[in-house]
């Protein structure tokens, strides 16, 4: 597409962190950019933009997805939850406390994606081995922590919940 041409726009309506939102967006804008640029929800980070790093994780209709691999128009009609909404609701409070205590968030770039992925894993009081925790977090890249402290934090939360 010629960058000089105006972007084709479509109206989207969705619920984000409990609030109804309607916007006109470029047909090619992905969900992570929409959340950051249109709604100022900058807790959703953008790293690789091709589905590898996990920094852009958000929940859509109850499932964690990669915000860089979903177009905003595809989320129209959906219920979207971001790190901001899940933090405000207290849903992640125990997990966040363990991350803080164990220094599992350093620069914090990966942290929102890590928390959403870990939260999904722990849903419903699920219990798993350290290997399973490592496996489920393997799609979330961290340049800082060496992962040990993150796995410790998820494991500690799991033990307290069960």
CB 10 → ligand FES: shortest distance, Å? 22
Query: Residue 50 Cβ, how far from ligand FES at the closest point, in Å?
Result: 7
Neighbours of 136 (CB within 10 A): 17
State whether residue 120 is helix, strand or coil.
helix
Q: In the complex with ligand FES, which residue's Cβ is closer, 53 or 75?
A: 53
Q: Which is nearer to ligand FES, 14 or 55 (CB)?
A: 55
- What tokens were used for 154? 């998820």
CA distance 49 to 64: 16
Give me the residues that bind ligand FES (CB under 6 A), please: 46-49, 51-56, 66, 68, 105-111, 142-145
Give min distance, CB of 57 to ligand FES, in A. Answer: 8
What's the min distance (Å) between Cβ of 158 and ligand FES?
A: 20
CB of 140 to ligand FES, least distance (A): 8
Query: Are 71 and 62 a contacting pair, CB within 8 Å?
Result: no
Q: Specify the residue, 106 or 125, whose C-beta has the smaller distance to ligand FES.
A: 106
CA separation for the pair 71, 67 (Å, rounded): 8
**What is d(CA 59, CA 57) in angstroms, rounded to the nearest whole number?**
7
CB nearer to ligand FES: pick between 39 and 46: 46
Q: How far apart are CA 31 and CA 117, in angstroms?
A: 17
Q: Which is nearer to ligand FES, 12 or 150 (CB)?
A: 150
* φ and ψ of 142, to 5 deg: -130, 130
């Amino acid at each position: 597409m010629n960058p000089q041409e105006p972007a084709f726009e479509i109206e989207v309506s969705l619920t984000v962190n409990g609030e109804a939102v309607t916007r006109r967006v470029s047909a090619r804008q992905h969900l992570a950019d929409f959340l950051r640029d249109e709604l100022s929800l900058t807790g959703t980070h953008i790293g690789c933009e091709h589905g590898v790093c996990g920094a852009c994780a958000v929940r859509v209709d109850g499932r964690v997805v990669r915000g860089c691999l979903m177009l905003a128009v595809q989320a129209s009609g959906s219920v979207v939850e971001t790190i901001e909404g899940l933090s405000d609701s207290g849903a992640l409070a125990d997990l966040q406390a363990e991350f803080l205590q164990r220094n599992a968030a350093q620069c914090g770039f990966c942290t929102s994606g890590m928390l959403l992925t870990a939260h999904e894993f722990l849903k419903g009081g699920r219990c798993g081995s350290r290997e399973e925790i490592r496996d489920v977090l393997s799609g979330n890249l961290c340049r800082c922590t060496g992962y040990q402290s993150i796995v410790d934090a998820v494991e500690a939360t799991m033990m307290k919940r069960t």
